Amino acid sequence: MAVHVTNTPASTIGSAAGIRRLQYCVDGQWRETSSGKYMPLFDPSTGQQIGEAPCCTAGEVNAAVAAAARAFPGWAARPVPERIQVMFRFKQKLDEHLDELTRLVATENGKVLAEARGDVLKAIEVVECACSTHYLMQGDTTMNVSAGYDTVSFREPLGVFVGIVPFNFPAMIPFGWMIPFAITTGNTFVLKAASMVPQTGIRMLELLQEAGLPDGVVNLVTCSRNEADLLLSHPDVKGVSFVGSTSVGLHVYKTAAGHGKRVQALTEAKNHALVLDDCVLERTVRGIINSTYGCCGQRCMALPVVCVEETIAEPFVALLKEFALELKVGPAWLPESQLGPMVSAGQKKSVEDWIATGVKEGARLLLDGRGVKVPGYEGGFFVGPTIFDHVAPGMTIGDEEIFGPVTCIKRVRNFEEGLAIMQASRFANGSCIYTTSGHAAREFAHRTDAGMVGINVGIPVPFSIFPFSGHKQSFFGDLHTMGRDGVAFYTETKSVTSVWFTQEDARKTVSTWDGTLTRS
């Protein structure tokens, strides 16, 4: 049985008019890099180059930080409602340009249209939540904490923050998880955009500027790792938000934290599902198909591993293969495409190498996505849906993040064995259980190590008022992105204790604790 591919001539849609040379943004100005070096950008659906991103110099990266530092005092001094008004206007701009941004994500990242639209909509969701920052920034007040003494606490911005983002969500991660809460709380920002997919971020920053953002509040660069490392130790940077691989995330965490900065580093995952024999089988399989193959598996909340009870393993596997074969592999911008390309030739090779590793390790390859060719798009970076069965403990394909459309099935005897296998992972981003048993669901939610848990939900990404809370080696830091955690990350608490004297008080002796100790 062959993988289902679309069959529309490439000449009819999506052809690039030429190579677009991009600029970087400092202090509200779009500039050409002085390095003379550029990084090629490709349309993953065709494999053709469509642009080139500047490789900014160390001086240009430092200039971005300097611009953000200059902009901070004036921006922080603006009343919170004024900052939120910029977010309101930005949200309107994003709504107006939703179709344009959707196509841009699809073109540079390879997500099919529905996924690309979702990427932008999730960014808009966080922008909407950031419009309530004045509530989330509220402090606390207690009168008469000691006789005549009152204490009030409130949250203040810190200064310049840096965002270092990956390729897989060019809209949601920088302009959802990071920038909205960072700037509405009063900070300024330097975005190190993903070098493979910077065009979405560039366009969204243009729209943010059109919404009335003052110059220097958000700056954008693309650069190599050497220049990006400067941001981790820069004395004017107060904090770093990072999303990417565990190895780089750990480096970012150690380096930036070692220089006294706040850090949140969201890293890899190997999310597991536990499928019990009382599940609603067809709906369960359809949910897993979406969770595993959505975004071509290039998301940290993908569901690449399924622990299924042996009593239903055979019908489960048969149905999974049947539904996987129904997926239409094709270019991102075709409405009928359901599985787009990998983001790059390198990512495609990496996934194909992982498939070869799985075969070598002895897992049973039920569906092989290597060698998929879409007529008219032979240069595209396509990998079809892939299924491994009988993945045993110790096989690296079942333990390490592949970041592609690959499902690994681990057959288990019961709930306890399945949970134990999941808990053995060094990652704990998300997990889910498919069952009709309330007791099993509650037990699972209580005992799983994962920070985001789904009950019959394959992608349990929380709404933006809740934190995106990975655990174990899926996260390094203390405060997660989004929600109250996100606001806390971008602010610090100041407590003010006051007392007002009468003439009689002025003559009294001042105690060691200046009156704030409530008992002797």
Instruction: Give the model confidence (pLDDT) of 412-434 as tens digits.
Output: 999 999 999 999 999 999 999 99
Question: CA dihedral in degrees (6, 8, 14, 17; nearest 10)?
Answer: 140
Average pLDDT of 361-381? 97
Cβ atoms within 10 Å, residue 241: 31
pLDDT tens, residue by residue, 298-308: 999 999 999 99
User: Cα–Cα distances in Å, from 391 out to 363, 398, 408, 486?
Assistant: 5, 6, 6, 38
pLDDT tens, residue by residue, 443-477: 999 999 999 999 999 999 999 999 999 999 999 99
Statement to judge: residues 238 and 307 lie in one domain: no
Q: Could you give the CA distance from residue 459 to residue 296 in angstroms, rounded to a whole number?
A: 14
Determine, yes or no, domain membership for 142: yes
Cβ atoms within 10 Å, residue 88: 16
Nearest 5°: phi and psi at 222? -125, 140
Q: What angle do CA 113, 118, 122 make, to 5 degrees?
A: 155
Query: How many residues are listed for the chain in this entry?
Result: 520
- Could you tell me the two tokens for 204? 């969204």
Q: What average pLDDT does the chain have?
A: 95
Q: Is the pLDDT of residue 85 over 70?
A: yes
Domain containing 298 equals: 272-455
Statement to judge: residues 281 and 215 lie in one domain: no
Q: Is the pLDDT of residue 343 over 80?
A: yes
User: Cα–Cα distances in Å, from 493 out to 145, 380, 483, 490, 517?
Assistant: 18, 50, 17, 10, 22
3-state SS, residue 283? helix
Statement to judge: residues 364 and 479 lie in one domain: no
pLDDT tens, residue by residue, 51-73: 999 999 999 999 999 999 999 99
- Could you tell me the two tokens for 11? 């000449």
Determine, yes or no, domain membership for 189: yes
Determine, yes or no, domain membership for 11: no
Statement to judge: residues 234 and 147 lie in one domain: yes
Beta bridge partners of 411: 308
Cβ-in-10-Å burial (0-12, 13-18, 19+) of 265 comes to buried
The 3 state secondary structure assigned to 239-269 is EEEEECCHHHHHHHHHHHHHCCCEEEEECCC
Average pLDDT of 222-248? 97
300 is catalytic: yes
Q: What is the CATH number of the domain that holds 350?
A: 3.40.309.10
Q: What is the per-residue pLDDT for 147?
A: 87
Determine, yes or no, domain membership for 517: no
Q: Which of 55, 300, 307, 408 is catalytic?
A: 300
Average pLDDT of 302-319? 98
Q: What is the per-residue pLDDT for 13?
A: 30
Q: What is the per-residue pLDDT for 1?
A: 40
Q: What angle do CA 391, 394, 400 make, to 5 degrees?
A: 80
Statement to judge: residues 281 and 251 lie in one domain: no
User: Cα–Cα distances in Å, from 281 out to 123, 284, 289, 342?
Assistant: 33, 5, 12, 29
- Could you tell me the two tokens for 132? 């309530």
Statement to judge: residues 382 and 483 lie in one domain: no
Q: Is the pLDDT of residue 5 over 80?
A: no
Statement to judge: residues 347 and 251 lie in one domain: no
pLDDT tens, residue by residue, 114-167: 999 999 999 999 999 999 998 999 999 999 999 889 999 999 999 999 999 999
- Could you tell me the two tokens for 436? 């009709």
Statement to judge: residues 276 and 311 lie in one domain: yes
Instruction: Provide the pairing of β-strand 364-367 with 386-389.
Output: antiparallel
Statement to judge: residues 189 and 298 lie in one domain: no
Statement to judge: residues 123 and 224 lie in one domain: yes
- Could you tell me the two tokens for 67? 């611009």
Q: What is the per-residue pLDDT for 53?
A: 98
CA 304 from centre of chain:
17
- Could you tell me the two tokens for 191? 């975005």
pLDDT classification of 9: cutoffs 50, 70, 90:
very low
3-state SS, residue 143? strand
DSSP assignment of 462-501: PPTTS-B--EETTEEESS-BSHHHHHHHTEEEEEEEEE--
pLDDT classification of 17: cutoffs 50, 70, 90:
low
pLDDT tens, residue by residue, 319-333: 999 999 999 999 999
Determine, yes or no, domain membership for 93: yes
Nearest 5°: phi and psi at 43? -90, 110
pLDDT tens, residue by residue, 239-289: 999 999 999 999 999 999 999 999 999 999 999 999 999 999 999 999 999
Q: What is the per-residue pLDDT for 508?
A: 83
Cβ-in-10-Å burial (0-12, 13-18, 19+) of 36 comes to exposed
Largest CA distance in the chain: 93
Statement to judge: residues 253 and 339 lie in one domain: no
Q: What is the per-residue pLDDT for 506?
A: 78
Determine, yes or no, domain membership for 171: yes
Q: What is the CATH number of the domain that holds 125?
A: 3.40.605.10
Q: How many domains are there within the chain?
A: 2
Nearest 5°: phi and psi at 248? -70, -40
Q: What is the per-residue pLDDT for 15?
A: 33
Q: Could you give the CA distance from residue 432 to residue 455 in angstroms, rounded to a whole number?
A: 6
Q: Could you give the CA distance from residue 172 to residue 481 in angstroms, rounded to a whole number?
A: 12
Kindly state the percentage of the chain with pLDDT values over 90.
Answer: 91
Determine, yes or no, domain membership for 39: no
Statement to judge: residues 203 and 287 lie in one domain: no
CB distance 431 to 272 below 8 Å: yes
Determine, yes or no, domain membership for 487: yes
